[in-house]
Amino acid sequence: MTQEEHSHVMTGASHLADCHPHHRILFDPIKIGPVVAPNRFYQVPHASGMTEANPRVRAAFRGTKAEGGWGVVSTGAVSIHPSSDDSPLPFARLWNDADIASHALTTEAVHKHGSLAAVELWHGGAVVMNRTSRLPPLSPSGVPWAATHIGFMGQQRPKPMEARDIDAVLNWQRAATRRALDAGFDIIYVYAGMGYLGYEFLLPEYNWRTDGYGGSLANRTRFVREMLEVTRDEAGGRAAVALRISLEELRAKPSDHYESEAHGVVSLLSDVPDLWDVKMDSSPNDCGASRFRPEGAHEPIIDFVRTVTDRPVVGVGRFTSPDTMVSQIKRGVLDLIGGARASIADPFLPEKIRQGNSDAIRECIGCNICIASWHDGVPVRCTQNATAGEEWRRDWHPERFRTAEEPESVLIVGGGPAGLEAALIAARQGFDVTLAEQRSDWGGRVLQESQLPGLAQWRRVRDYRVWALSQLGNVAMYTDSPMAVADIASADARHIAVATGAHWTTHLYSPLEIPSHPLLGPRVFTPEDVFEGRVEGDRVLVFDYDNYYLGGVIAEHLARRGSHVVYATPAGHASAWTFMTNELPYVYKALGEQGVDILTTTKLDHFDGHHATLSNLFNEQSLQRAIDTVVVVGLRQPNGSLYQSLQTAKASGDSALAGASITLVGDALAPGAIVHAVHSGHSFARALIDGGADYLRDEPVTLSEPQPVFVDSGNP
């Protein structure tokens, strides 16, 4: 095995000879106060789940984006003080000098590729619960965020801020700015969005004050102005000062002197920050899933900002099309193209545009698994990019691959997301790959599910990989090719990956919160039956304990077709896990628009073909519904028979299989979300070179002795 690495995209060059002329405007340098961004690609602040506990993982994750051409690369939220403690959700800190060295690893990784490093200094105000620091949260008037989801609920309420509390926050911002400069950051943020402290001063719903920080719009803007001023004063021209602000609620508020309160805030602060970073107010709107929010969905809210200020403006919209990006700039909506999810799905998106190779962009599908990572408290995951979060700990680069010393043969059985990814990465590593799929088209579950309402963009998982494989000369691809043991043995492959997927069952749900016995009988169906168009009925029950998107989408699909649909789930919400992906509010809206009846904390006990008997999960109270069709979305089981037959044949002495490795990948190994299947296929292919080496364990960067964090528990 050679150690030479081959790049699939050219990096480091600054010329635009290969760039489409229409796209060259994206590579204009942009002055941001005292610094200059080398181009218009701006990775805006976004959570990564990589705290000071994972500083090397974090540095490699951000540094890879700089290598891929993002001119500015930002952190996620970085707390300025223990009174902004978001645990157990992952967040970063600049509380004392011990945190500086950890962040310096990131700035060094970003600067290595000529990009600017930005830090999103943050105080969460009333939104955080300070579960670890146990300090009272701070709020302009003591108004709490009364979250409706248990993951954000807490019993600690905020204290109304006194004048000395305001002074303290300004001092914390100043101190964090000083540490940010020492860590090497080029752009320093004040955060006034998403319900956090600066936002709370701007919104009258949070701000009931009667002093100089409340009442009029100018007064409510004062705290944000002072945060910007202390940041600029401390930066002293060494770094630019950015304001990140949510404008959705403010734009909806009328104003006596401006077109809206959003226009008023931007007008009052127009020349104070060096950069405006504009966004929505709630995460489901700001980072909306593609199922409900199209590319560029922010524009109707933020389109006015450049008409009010002469400072550069950056915004997001899950931009993946360079033509859309150029349109935003030429129409005066944005100066810099912000990317969060798009930069995770393809860190090399800017470089591919610069090379005139936009077809090679691994486009974000808007599934929001990356956001679920933050809710889960783990480093970021991505359905499209299996290397996200693995750059340092597994040494996986998204565009470079070590090549095999000898091009051994690899046979992959199954052309779903796992099989396609395994084939692509194996081929890029120099193996001779054969990919066989029993159906007439590629994509497996992705191809099936993308037929359903709102999921069309998920087909990008399939389309990108099929296109990328078509560019390689060491891959043979066959559809309509079911493979038996004899077929596989005759292929004489050195490595065999079995990516045969999984199937849905009709198992019901036990009070033990596990699957129970299968529901048998006519007119009982699974999602596969929905995909094949076999489900009929005027009164359909969708019983869902998978709890992710599919049960809700199937209910919406069947209702759109004309059936009266009852959706029942043992969980507390319809499609409960979609809270993790920012979809839950829109799931309810979509089901409501189609007239779907929703029964939560409910399990299905019996179905006789005419009536469904259900009961409450907790009190066992029974109810009946007139139903003629049931679709169960619950247990998936691996399609493992081919794998077992291969293992049996090998153990029995089949000489054609004796020297071959046989590996289960994707849902055939363990059913999961599409992200798990893609990661599994990627892991298989990388293991052909590295043997499946364990990943590195990161460690915090620490001083010789822990430093105290100086707080007054009664009056921070």
Active site residue 586: no
SS3 state of residue 158: coil
Domain locations in the chain?
5-376, 403-501+639-690, 504-635
* 123 CB neighbour count, 10 Å cutoff: 25
Q: Do residues 339 and 349 lie in contact, with contact meaning Cβ atoms separated by under 8 Å?
A: yes
pLDDT at residue number 3: 36
Q: Using CA of residue 321, residue 326, residue 327, residue 328, what is the dihedral sign?
A: positive
pLDDT of residue 711: 65
Of 42, 196, 464, 586, which is the active-site residue?
A: 196
Q: Is CATH 3.50.50.60 the right assignment for the domain spanning 504-635?
A: yes
Provide the pairing of β-strand 597-599 with 495-498.
unpaired
Residues of the chain with pLDDT under 70: 1-14, 704, 710-716
Pair of tokens at residue 138: 């701070």
Q: Quote the pLDDT of residue 165.
A: 97
**Residue 710: per-residue pLDDT:** 65
> For 5-376, CATH number?
3.20.20.70
pLDDT value of residue 454: 97
Three-state secondary structure call for residue 412: strand
Q: What pLDDT does 712 receive?
A: 59
**Of the candidates 445, 447, 421, 450, which has an alpha carbon nearest to the alpha carbon of residue 435?**
421
Cβ atoms of residues 575 and 549 within 8 Å: yes
Task: Read off the pTM.
Answer: 0.95
Helix/strand/coil for 89: coil
Burial of 407 (0-12, 13-18, 19+ CB in 10 A): middle
Q: Identify the bridge partners of residue 515 per DSSP, sorted by sequence position.
A: 509
SS (H, E, C) 120-149: EEECCHHHCCCCCCCCCCEECCCCCCCCCC
What CATH architecture applies to the domain 403-501+639-690?
A: 3-Layer(aba) Sandwich (3.40)
